[in-house]
């Protein structure tokens, strides 16, 4: 009997230890029943992410998530913003398999998708985010990324480097021969991110189309991706690029001595990659787990210090977060809110009118 009692006690202790280990996976401060989400996610085994974030940049986040939740694998699909939008809508209409989570740098088109397809889910991390980064407990801003100028440090003298949008326009318009087809930015018809940033420029510059016209005097070269623009500036094929995602520029500049970066002092747009869970998610628990991890202090530490995208939180080690950026740039920062104002220029007539005006000013 004594042996049996000891055996029973040992089994009970082992069971308690295993239970404690399982419960330990619930992050501090989360609801006690969050364990059900973890258990459900492990049964689902997979979360499918549709994202515009480069796979290389997302890699550390994926690794951190899979380490935190063994048994839940991330199926990561990296595509450009327009492809993501069209593919997701098509799959939702067809009713087949699709992404569980949409995570897009094209804030306006992401919110448009969220209005029709997002699952309402209040993340336990929502209270740690700026209020402008949370939309109806459904869509969340996840990063804090300034849009910057980049320039070729070998070919642009430091004294000529512009610090404002007006200074950029003046530099180009006063030296049209030097900057002939040497200034690059997004093609707003092919890049949803580029379109959104152009619209936000207009909101922050009362003379936007005049500024654009002067900036384009030497001939504006437009591209659909940040990577292409950085390559062209690095090589000297272009000399200056603007509305470049600062996170990508900073990562490139670490290993490319030709790339210089300017955070405009008149205003610096701040983009936040928008994430939401699909209503028709096939792996709903795993999607919640991913969303919460991405917004958590642990996940945001990886975002800021391994993935080189500034954190949306203000409690992350280092200065690559809201607090650090605010100390650096102060009132020049103009975060783009995750709300319905993003949808204004997605109305077809207004969008086409804006593109027409943009093309006329840009000489396209």
Q: Please check whether the two domains, 29-142+273-320 and 145-271+343-362, share a CATH topology.
A: yes
Residue labelled with tokens 């420029």: 201
The pLDDT score that the predictor gives to residue 295 is 98
Check pLDDT > 90 for residue 15: no
Domain 29-142+273-320: CATH superfamily is Periplasmic binding protein-like II (3.40.190.10)
Check pLDDT > 60 for residue 184: yes
Check pLDDT > 50 for residue 198: yes
Q: pLDDT by residue (tens digit) across 344-360?
A: 999 999 999 999 999 99
Report helix, strand or coil for 92: helix
Average pLDDT over residues 58-69: 97
Report helix, strand or coil for 180: coil
| 236: Cα within 13 Å, side-chain hemisphere | 7
Q: pLDDT by residue (tens digit) across 119-147?
A: 999 999 999 999 999 999 999 999 999 99
Average pLDDT over residues 323-349: 94
Give residue limits of the domains in the chain: 29-142+273-320, 145-271+343-362
At 25, the pLDDT band (50, 70, 90 cuts) reads: confident
**Torsion sign, CA atoms 245, 247, 252, 253:** positive
Give 51 or 224, the one with higher predicted confidence.
Answer: 51
Q: At 342, list the tokens.
A: 């993003």
Check pLDDT > 90 for residue 4: no
Q: 198: part of which helix (H) or strand (E)?
A: helix 192-204
The pLDDT score that the predictor gives to residue 42 is 96
Q: At 307, list the tokens.
A: 């993935």
The pLDDT score that the predictor gives to residue 3 is 43
The pLDDT score that the predictor gives to residue 82 is 84
The pLDDT score that the predictor gives to residue 66 is 96
Average pLDDT over residues 299-305: 97
The DSSP secondary structure of 136-151, one letter per residue, reads TTTEEE-B-EEEEEEE
* CB-CB contact of 299 with 64 (8 Å): yes
The pLDDT score that the predictor gives to residue 10 is 45
At 12, the pLDDT band (50, 70, 90 cuts) reads: very low
Report helix, strand or coil for 152: strand
Q: Average pLDDT over the chain, rounded to whole? A: 92
pTM of the model: 0.87
Distance of CA 148 to the CA centre of its chain: 15
Q: pLDDT by residue (tens digit) across 73-116?
A: 999 999 988 899 999 999 999 988 999 999 999 999 999 999 99
**Helices 208-215 and 348-362: angle between axes, nearest 10 degrees:** 40
Beta-bridge partner residues of 151: 240, 260
CA-wise closest residue to 191 among 310, 348, 79: 79
Check pLDDT > 80 for residue 35: yes
Say how far apart CA 293 and CA 285 lie, in whole Å. 12
Task: Give the lowest-confidence range in 15-19, 187-191, 269-273.
Answer: 15-19
The pLDDT score that the predictor gives to residue 80 is 85
Q: At 38, list the tokens.
A: 């973890």
Q: pLDDT by residue (tens digit) across 244-258?
A: 999 899 989 999 999
**Helices 107-117 and 81-94: angle between axes, nearest 10 degrees:** 10
Beta-bridge partner residues of 148: 244
The CATH number for 145-271+343-362, chosen from 2.40.50.100, 1.10.150.110, 1.10.150.120, 3.40.190.10, is 3.40.190.10
Average pLDDT over residues 260-283: 97
């Amino acid at each position: 009997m004594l042996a049996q009692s000891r055996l029973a006690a040992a089994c009970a202790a082992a069971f308690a230890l295993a239970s404690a280990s399982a419960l330990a996976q619930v992050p501090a401060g989360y609801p006690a029943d969050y364990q059900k989400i973890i258990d459900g996610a492990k049964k689902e085994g997979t979360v499918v992410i549709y994202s515009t974030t480069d796979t290389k940049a997302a890699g550390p986040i994926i690794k951190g998530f899979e380490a935190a939740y063994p048994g839940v694998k991330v199926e990561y699909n990296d595509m450009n913003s327009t492809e993501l939008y069209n593919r997701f809508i098509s799959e939702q209409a067809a009713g087949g398999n699709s992404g569980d989570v949409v995570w897009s740098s094209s804030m306006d088109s992401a919110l448009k998708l969220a209005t029709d397809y997002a699952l309402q889910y209040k993340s336990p991390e929502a209270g740690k985010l700026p209020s402008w980064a949370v939309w109806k407990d459904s869509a969340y801003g996840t990063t804090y990324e300034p849009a910057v100028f980049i320039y070729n440090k070998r070919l642009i003298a430091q004294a000529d480097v512009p610090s404002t949008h007006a200074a950029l326009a003046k530099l180009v318009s006063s030296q049209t021969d030097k900057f002939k087809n040497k200034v690059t930015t997004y093609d707003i018809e092919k890049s949803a991110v580029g379109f959104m940033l152009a619209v936000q420029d207009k909101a922050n510059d009362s003379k936007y189309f005049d500024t654009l016209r002067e900036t384009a005097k030497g001939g504006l070269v437009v591209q659909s991706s940040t990577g292409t623009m950085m390559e062209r500036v690095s090589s000297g094929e272009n000399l200056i690029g603007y509305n470049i995602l600062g996170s990508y520029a900073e990562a490139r500049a670490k290993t490319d001595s030709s790339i210089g970066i300017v955070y405009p002092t008149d205003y610096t747009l701040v983009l936040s990659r928008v994430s939401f869970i699909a209503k028709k998610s096939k792996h709903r628990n795993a999607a919640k787990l991913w969303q919460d991890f991405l917004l958590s202090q642990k996940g945001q530490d990886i975002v800021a210090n391994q993935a080189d995208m500034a954190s949306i939180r203000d409690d992350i080690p280092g200065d690559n977060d809201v607090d650090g950026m605010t100390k650096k740039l102060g009132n020049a920062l103009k975060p783009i809110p995750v709300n319905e104002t993003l949808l204004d220029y997605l109305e077809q007539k207004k969008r086409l009118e804006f593109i027409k005006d943009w093309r006329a000013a840009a000489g396209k």
